[in-house]
């Protein structure tokens, strides 16, 4: 009886819309488990796009995941992009989301809505250097049977008037002493702005408890510096080659990464794509530079490939795996490309209906 009443109400209210939510986990492990859930909404090619921000937020709020992606496949062969995507959290719709991108294109591949072994052009929004609001951009998304790889924007290292004050405010928000931090903190952006925070010891990071008070303080710092949140790792969980191999490649593993974004109503995420791309660039700039400079002189190619494996989400029982491939020119000290990739898996629930 309740379902009949609800159905009648929906039909009588022309302002309401029904959305099909596909449930997909991004950055799952080798067995297809864990990962970070995202909602994926595929809209009709003829529908008005993008939706109003508040509509997307209302849908995302009902879905309840950290991010929901709204997707429209372009039917115009002369277009400069193939797929149009926007993202929303339960409280905002203003930027880029890496894990929801992997979820989106993994779903499109699995549903045969895009071709396998292809490179697609995704139009979406990112946060720029000098403008607080979102800006349209085109990203290359490589799709194959097992992986989705996104070529993110080259890193922006945002200028902060006094980094010591930023470090102090972050330390206070986490109830940690300054002495537990690595010497440098930086706000890095490969699509979304995050404070990249390095601590010295895993035990210290494991001990951070996200109480309501801590979340409120993190949110306050995030507002002040116009960032999404904090992306954290520890020096004793960072493993890397001391010298590049014969193919100019360095392998790096970063274990036990944590991400806090309570300002977006996401206290902690199991896997983050854009933030891991930014973290990779931070590690190259501040930690791997001596390794790059010590590269054997007999190797004349200055482009070094740094391949990262990030493990995130262990602290709350959801170990997820994110990959990043950085190409760095050590002679010119510039980034050539930043790519982030991972696997996805549809949730057993697969899909649901949301009415807003």
Mean pLDDT of 274-283: 98
| Residue 107 CA: distances (Å) to CA of 24, 41, 42, 95, 111 | 7, 10, 10, 21, 6
Rounded Cα distance, 200 and 221, in Å: 21
Mean per-residue pLDDT over the chain, rounded: 91
Contacts 24+ apart (CB under 8 A), 142-145: 142/118, 142/341, 143/105, 143/108, 143/109, 143/114, 143/115, 143/116, 143/117, 143/118, 143/119, 144/116, 144/117, 145/109, 145/116, 145/117
Q: Which domains does the chain have, with CATH numbers?
A: 2-151+344-355 (3.10.310.10), 156-343 (3.10.310.10)
Note whether 67 and 259 are within 8 A (CB): no
Q: Which two tokens stand for residue 199?
A: 């601590």
Confidence category of residue 267, pLDDT binned at 50, 70, 90: very high
- Top pLDDT among 96 and 348 is at 96
Q: Which two tokens stand for residue 20?
A: 């099909």
* Nearest one of 95, 92, 2, 97 to 40, comparing CA atoms: 97
Q: Which two tokens stand for residue 8?
A: 């009648």
Question: pLDDT, tens digit, for every residue of 228-260?
Answer: 999 999 999 999 998 878 788 999 999 999 999
* Nearest one of 296, 247, 254 to 275, comparing CA atoms: 254
Task: Specify the pLDDT at position 4.
Answer: 34
* Nearest one of 294, 281, 268, 279 to 208, comparing CA atoms: 268
Note whether 88 and 60 are within 8 A (CB): yes
Q: Which two tokens stand for residue 237?
A: 């969980």
pLDDT at 61 exceeding the cut of 90: yes
pTM for this structure? 0.93
Confidence category of residue 350, pLDDT binned at 50, 70, 90: confident
Rounded Cα distance, 158 and 129, in Å: 7
Question: pLDDT, tens digit, for every residue of 112-158?
Answer: 999 999 999 999 999 877 656 788 999 999 999 889 999 999 999 99
Rounded Cα distance, 120 and 102, in Å: 13
Mean pLDDT of 93-106: 94
Q: Which two tokens stand for residue 108?
A: 């499109």
Q: Which two tokens stand for residue 302?
A: 């200055």
């Amino acid at each position: 009886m309740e379902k009949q009443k609800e159905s009648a109400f929906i039909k009588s209210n022309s302002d309401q819309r029904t959305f099909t939510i596909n449930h997909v986990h991004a950055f799952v492990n080798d067995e297809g488990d864990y990962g970070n859930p995202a909602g994926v909404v595929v809209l009709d090619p003829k529908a008005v796009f993008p939706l109003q921000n508040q509509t997307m937020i209302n849908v995302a709020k009902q879905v309840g995941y950290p991010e929901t992606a709204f997707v429209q496949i372009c039917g115009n062969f002369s277009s400069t992009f193939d797929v149009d995507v926007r993202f929303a959290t339960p409280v905002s719709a203003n930027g880029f989301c890496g894990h929801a991108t992997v979820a989106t294109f993994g779903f499109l591949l699995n549903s045969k809505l895009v071709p396998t072994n292809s490179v697609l052009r995704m139009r979406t929004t990112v946060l720029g250097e000098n403008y607080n609001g979102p800006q349209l951009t085109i990203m290359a998304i490589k799709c194959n049977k097992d992986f989705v790889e996104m070529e993110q924007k080259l890193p922006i290292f945002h200028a902060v008037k006094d980094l010591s004050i930023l470090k102090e405010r972050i330390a206070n928000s986490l109830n940690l002493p300054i002495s537990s931090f690595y010497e440098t903190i930086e706000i890095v952006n490969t699509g979304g702005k995050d404070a990249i925070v390095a601590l010295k010891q895993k035990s210290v990071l494991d001990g951070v408890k996200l109480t309501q008070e801590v979340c409120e303080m993190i949110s306050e710092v995030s507002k002040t510096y116009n960032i999404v949140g904090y992306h954290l790792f520890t020096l004793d969980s960072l493993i890397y080659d001391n010298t590049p191999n014969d193919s100019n490649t360095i392998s790096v593993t970063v274990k036990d990464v944590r991400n806090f974004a309570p300002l977006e109503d996401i206290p902690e995420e199991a896997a983050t794509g854009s933030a891991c791309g930014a973290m990779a660039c931070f590690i190259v700039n501040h930690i791997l530079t001596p390794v790059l400079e010590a590269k054997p002189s007999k190797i004349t190619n200055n482009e070094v490939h740094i391949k990262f494996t990030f493990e995130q989400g262990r602290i709350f029982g959801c170990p997820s795996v994110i990959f990043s491939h950085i190409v760095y020119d050590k002679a010119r000290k510039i980034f050539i490309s930043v790519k982030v990739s991972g696997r996805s898996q549809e949730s057993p629930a697969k899909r649901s209906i949301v009415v807003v």
